Chains A and B, each alone.
Chain A
Amino acid sequence: MATGFLTDTTVCIGCKACEVACKQWNQIPADGYELTGDSYDNTKQLSGTTWRHVAFIENPKKQRKLTGDVDLLALAEDVHQTLPGGAELDGLGRWTFMSDVCKHCVEAACQQACPTGAIIRNEFDNVYIQPDVCNGCGYCVPACPYGVITQVPEDGRVFKCTLCYDRQRDGLEPACAKACPTNSIMFGDVEELKQVAAERVATLHAKGYENAYIYGTPEIGGTGGINGDHSKFILMDEPETYNLPAHPFLPQAKVKGGFVASAVAATVLGAVVALAFRD
């Protein structure tokens, strides 16, 4: 059975419990204090020492008039309704949060790049780095189409989300999914999650959030030979807004082509040099 994540960003509240749970469980070193000024995001990005990262995007305030009986509860729920006096409330509109993580690609660029075979697919079909094999060549780093896998300079090796391999082996769900208070992070069988995602997107569409869609399918986000991602997301804005590529590609798809082109070039160069020997 392939396991994976479904991160439903529409119910994320930006609490960063996942970031903390991941650091705690996996005993990842701290990144220090940095104030970025980028909304509430001082983590910035995924790295070798950050395997979950919550993105914060503040949306512009909608034109709204608050008169009459305002149902404040509606603000907190996913309600999209017209209120008395023409007031509009949009429960999902004010903030965009996303808890980012390794995509656990079906065809993983990092795994194909790795010359030592340190990166494997484990029995849960997750992309896993064997820390005792990696020699820190760093080739997987620019290969990853999502900028996930990163070298830790102090250690020399690369690290990323293991999908809590150890917890899964003990029958537990990954630390981030366990800690998530709104169930924005769901963990489970990839096929089941696919269905959950489709139903949730249909519900959102029915409620008037027509821009909701699934990221990480072979149509969007898991494109170009990647064949989809085992960790998918439900998004409400352009992928780039969350720092995700819309149509990434598998870089190794062209290795054979590059080899053939080089062989042709080698032949031509050989012929040209050989011709220079003529009297």
Chain B
Amino acid sequence: MADVTQETRQQQNGKIETSHHPETDSQRKDKYYYGIPPIKRAHWTWQIPIYFWIGGISAGVQLFTTLANVLGHKDEALTRIGRYTALVTMILSPILLIWDLGRPERFYNMMRIWKLRSPMSNQSWALVVYGNLAGLIAARQAAEDGLLGRGLLPRLVARLVPARFLSVLALPVALFVGSNTGTLLSATSVPIWARNWMLMGPTFLASGVSTALSYLSLVLHLGHWGEKKTHHVLRRAERATLLIEAGLIAASLVRMSRWSKPLFSREIAPLFVGGTLLGGIAAPLALLSGKETRGKSMFTSTLVLLGGLALRFAMVQAGRKSADDPEAYFTFARGENAPQPEDKI
């Protein structure tokens, strides 16, 4: 009898399964190390997506107004709005960015050094250059508009600041600011961003141009300004850029493949699918093909602007979700999924 008890105890001793190992513990639902994210997400709050949106608009406005100028299309209202917009966006951008720093009073440390490998460093310097150029160009406009009074200085500014030349100079920097907001996200370990390293910049830039065209159209309509041709060109360009943007987003989703999941999650899908894809691209494209009226055009522009804002928020939030998901990172950092230095694509 005693022998039997001992026997069972010995057998049980071998059979009791206690385990906290992810592969053998049937009770555990969290995968890997207790489901704790293996990478850390960025702390960035609402200021950053708003800055991405504003920066994109600034780049697109610079592109459109400079091209209008170079191609000899004369529209004073357009030029004026373009120049003042560049200045306002370049005042708002650093405010938003500095606001989001953990130590705002040390923002100037960004100017200690320039590192080509750091998209954040490149972005800071591009903002300094573009901001100063935008300031000079806007000063000339203000002097011409008589906003600076009638003193000697405004007259000198109006005469000496080569605004057209400076805007051509500012164009590549502005475009860099617009696209680098996307590249900046992709140069991280976050799967959904890093996987799409090639198309993040282009997608953000395309969205920047489409929102900028809508912005220009909206402001011109609001003030009853602008030549007829300007409105016509804006409409045509808007249709084309929205198509390019849609194509780039589609290609991005293909490239992100399984790691694009956060964009379609319950929290982000309304923003991304509803706000960007349907509200910000599909609906405006449909509205742009019909007859043109002022009210309809303004409505379309608003939709595109909100769609662009939704895209920035969706991308930043999807990055958080992606970083918080151990499954996403570990599948990404296994084998050939992660970008390797020698890959071309």
The number of residue pairs between A and B whose CB atoms lie closer than 8 Å in the complex comes to: 294
B75 CB to closest chain A CB (Å) equals 11
Is B135 on the interface with A (CB-CB < 8 A)? no
The answer on a CB contact under 8 Å between A269 and B244 is yes
Is B79 on the interface with A (CB-CB < 8 A)? no
- Known: A113-B118, A251-B188. Contact between A144 and B40, CB under 8 A? yes
Across-interface contacts of B184 in A (CB, < 8 A): 139
A152 CB to closest chain B CB (Å) equals 8
Residue from A63, A142, A247 whose CB has the most chain B CB atoms within 10 Å = A142
Query: Who on chain A is nearest to B329 by CB?
Result: A245
Interface bits B258-279 vs A (CB < 8 Å: 1, else 0): 0000000000000000000000
Question: Helix, strand, loop or mixed for chain A's interface?
Answer: loop
The answer on a CB contact under 8 Å between A142 and B39 is yes
A22 CB to closest chain B CB (Å) equals 18
Q: Which of A44, A96, A115, A249 contacts B36 (CB 8 A)?
A: A44
A212 vs B95: C-alpha distance when bound (angstroms): 52
The answer on a CB contact under 8 Å between B118 and A243 is no
Interface bits A60-95 vs B (CB < 8 Å: 1, else 0): 111111110000000000000000000000000000
The answer on a CB contact under 8 Å between A61 and B330 is no
Q: Which of A133, A240, A262 contacts B202 (CB 8 A)?
A: A262
Q: Which of A66, A133, A249 contacts B338 (CB 8 A)?
A: A249
B170 CB to closest chain A CB (Å) equals 13
Query: Who on chain A is nearest to B119 by CB?
Result: A255
The answer on a CB contact under 8 Å between B10 and A65 is yes
Is A199 on the interface with B (CB-CB < 8 A)? no
Across-interface contacts of B202 in A (CB, < 8 A): 261-262, 264-265
Query: Who on chain A is nearest to B319 by CB?
Result: A142
The answer on a CB contact under 8 Å between B67 and A277 is yes
Is A57 on the interface with B (CB-CB < 8 A)? yes
Question: How many residues from A make CB contacts under 8 Å with B?
Answer: 86
Question: Helix, strand, loop or mixed for chain B's interface?
Answer: helix
The answer on a CB contact under 8 Å between A241 and B18 is no
The answer on a CB contact under 8 Å between A251 and B24 is no
B244 CB to closest chain A CB (Å) equals 7
The A123-144 residues at the B interface (CB cut-off 8 A) are 133-139, 141-144
Q: Which of A114, A149, A155, A258 contacts B187 (CB 8 A)?
A: A258
A86 CB to closest chain B CB (Å) equals 11
Interface bits A231-274 vs B (CB < 8 Å: 1, else 0): 00000000011111111111111110111011011101110111
A240 vs B39: C-alpha distance when bound (angstroms): 12
The answer on a CB contact under 8 Å between B189 and A253 is no
A140 CB to closest chain B CB (Å) equals 9
Across-interface contacts of B180 in A (CB, < 8 A): 259, 262
Q: Which of B19, B63, B326 contacts A59 (CB 8 A)?
A: B19
B30 CB to closest chain A CB (Å) equals 9
B: residues with CB less than 8 A from A are: 10, 13-25, 32-34, 36-44, 63-64, 67-68, 71, 73, 100-104, 106-107, 109-110, 112-113, 115-121, 123-124, 172, 175-176, 178-180, 182-184, 186-190, 194, 197-202, 205-206, 209, 213, 233-234, 236-237, 240-241, 244, 248, 319, 323, 326, 329-330, 333-335, 338-341
